[in-house]
Amino acid sequence: MQLAQGVIGYVQYFTDLPIALVLLHMLGAVLITAYTARLVWSVRGPASELPLSTTTEAAAATR
């Protein structure tokens, strides 16, 4: 997918940035970012197993 992004970028540069290719490039960048985030989430899981409400209550109790 990243190779395709590079090819699209070069085509944009040498053909004066047609809007359709710019949109494809942006879509590809968004998809790569989303799938990378999904991969990281599936491998590492959430940062904490505690619900958010428990964390904020504990922080308020220590003040």
Tell me the per-residue pLDDT of 20-60, one tens digit each, with 9 for 90 and over.
Answer: 888 888 898 899 999 999 999 888 876 666 666 655 555 56
Q: What is the pLDDT, as a whole number, of residue 38?
A: 92
Q: Which domain holds residue 51?
A: 2-61
Q: What is the pLDDT, as a whole number, of residue 61?
A: 60
Q: What is the pLDDT, as a whole number, of residue 39?
A: 92
pLDDT confidence tier of residue 9, bands split at 50, 70 and 90: confident
Q: Look at residues 54, 2, 41 and name the one whose alpha carbon lies nearest to residue 25.
A: 2
pTM above 0.75, yes or no: no
CA dihedral for 18, 19, 22, 28, sign (positive or negative): negative
Q: How many domains does the chain have?
A: 1
* Residues 60, 53 contacting (CB under 8 angstroms): no
